Structure 1
Amino acid sequence: MNGILHGNKLKTAGLIIGIVFAFIILVLSVIMGYTNTSLSTAIDAYTAFNGSNEQLIIKISRVPRALVGMAVGISLGIAGVLMQALTRNPIASPDIFGVNAGAGFFIVFGVTFLGISSIQEFMWIGFLGAAVASGMAYILGSAGKGGLTPVKLTLAGAVIAALFASLTQGMLVTNEKALDEVLFWLAGSVEGRKLSMLTAVLPALFIAWIVSVLLSRQLNAFALGEDVAVSLGQKTVVFKFIAALMVILLAGGSVAIAGPISFIGIVVPHFARYLVGSDHRWIVPFSAIVGGIMLVAADIGARYIIMPEEAPVGVVTALIGTPFFIYIVRKGIFQK
């Protein structure tokens, strides 16, 4: 598959343009919203702080929100690429395969029964939930005649996602305190997030970003089929374990700070392939940039849908991703 950007020079230029555009989106996220601010106000908040309401909103709310949105978008975009390459399933993503739902369930369980409240605790229990959900989906999708197939894995992921979502709702019904604490978070949101929340999970996310880029060459071989990868000398068991671990870090860390945001992991890798083709050495970085841009742009839109109130960003990403998901399924390209 060839993308619209041909040649390494054109792809490099496209990546640079994407980085610049990501920076522009970050700036827009900082200055746009219910409270009118400007670029000069944002700069003054850090160079000539006077304690005004506008500057406080920028420092305490807008900047952390923009950075969290960018980090989560990058993580979910890369996680989608890894999952689609590992399963050779074009609709694979952390939300479709129940990874986000598993992480969310474990976090709600921790809030309800263990009294967890710190982001560090959210992070570790989110990682555990993502790992459990991934393992359950893989085992269930591998059961029966024919072993693991894209369709069986998709159905298994849907079952796991429904199971954990139902269990989560059941806990919230019986615990009003937990409902108040996590309801908005469960819809997927970056509103009200603090920089301390991002810095707590950023080391894990950053490691996963770097390792995913380093795995991109091996992803090309694996995408041709496991037998081909083995014939090329790839240790597929080790490779799959490392790639799956990166998905757990990316999805678990993202859910810990922003809740289970859907459809970024599905849409972004396809858009990256449209731009650069099937070479994962380019798909991974392009998916990172596009994922960050898409989530921050969706968050900006979420501020205006029901102004003066704000919609969770997960609602906006669902509105964007649902038609695309239907398009992919109708094409039937995953039915192999």
Structure 2
Amino acid sequence: MLLKTGPRSRARAWILSGALLFAPPAFAGDPPKDPAPNDPAPKEEPPKDEQPYVHKGFVYRSTTAVRYNPLGLSSFFRVGYQRPLLGPQDNILLQRTFVGINAVTTITPAFIRGGLRLDVQPLAFLQFLFAYEGMALFGTYDSLQSFKRVSEDFGDVKQIERGKQGLSYRTTGGIFTADVILQAKAGPILLVSDTQFIHTDFTITPGDRFYFDLPFSMLAMDDGWMVSNETDLLFVTSFGLMAGARHGVYHTFFPAELIAGEEARAEQITPIEFAGPLLGFQFPEHNGPKRFNAPGIFLNVSWWIRNPYRTGQEVAATVPYIVGGFTFKGTL
């Protein structure tokens, strides 16, 4: 299944919320003066921090992750061309800006998806992603299943039963994603908030209007919209260890006319929400071009706060939602 990954490399950007740093102006027409004999020795300027490197050329990233409750396994890969937007900047909010175009793919035992993605980071604390992907579901693991009404049972037990009845099938579709990422760092405290707006359109059984979405593990509307948000608050050490918490919420937009008379059921099944501790470790990131760079591991152990089947209905609320994986990147 498609998984949200743990601490992202973009979260390593140097951010200082609400502060601007400017270099003093240089006056080329004024030559330096030798100090007078009685003048004190000139003070040495403190060394400037090395600016984060933004590669101009081809880059790639790979993430492999597994999850439990629900089960999932996925491998994500992107490769593309990027270039800096502004070049070196003394203003820390203008550093690490870039624009890039990438080919992306996600492979799981249940589906494959892939397409093109535009990445734009106009400011160090703000990033936009726009992607369109095609998706093919293999018909394995009782997917895909579609439904006429939101009141129908789409829990794990019922999906297994429906799969035995031949009600799961192969299909294809398209996914458009618009993603906004906000990130801020104050000392060792890092905050990253990732919000995605997703529109999906699949070929499903005529007359059905809803389907079970595997990546988000919730009921979605065909030819409709979903929104997700994952927010990480982390303490980042100087040697690469990151520890903190993640909160996630996923929501499906149901038109009023499609859930008339079933509003209570719609409120029960969306949004779904979870929260829990997040740990990560990233090996030192080389501040320059490198074929294999910044490998890291992550583990998020959360508990479902809202879920129609995993807070005591089919799965006990004490059973955690676990996501872990390995990620790395590089330049080509």
Shorter-chain TM-score: which interval?
Answer: under 0.3
Of structures 1 and 2, the larger Rg is shown by 2
Bigger strand share: 2
Q: TM-score, normalised by structure 2?
A: 0.22
Q: TM-score, normalised by structure 1?
A: 0.22
Bigger helix share: 1
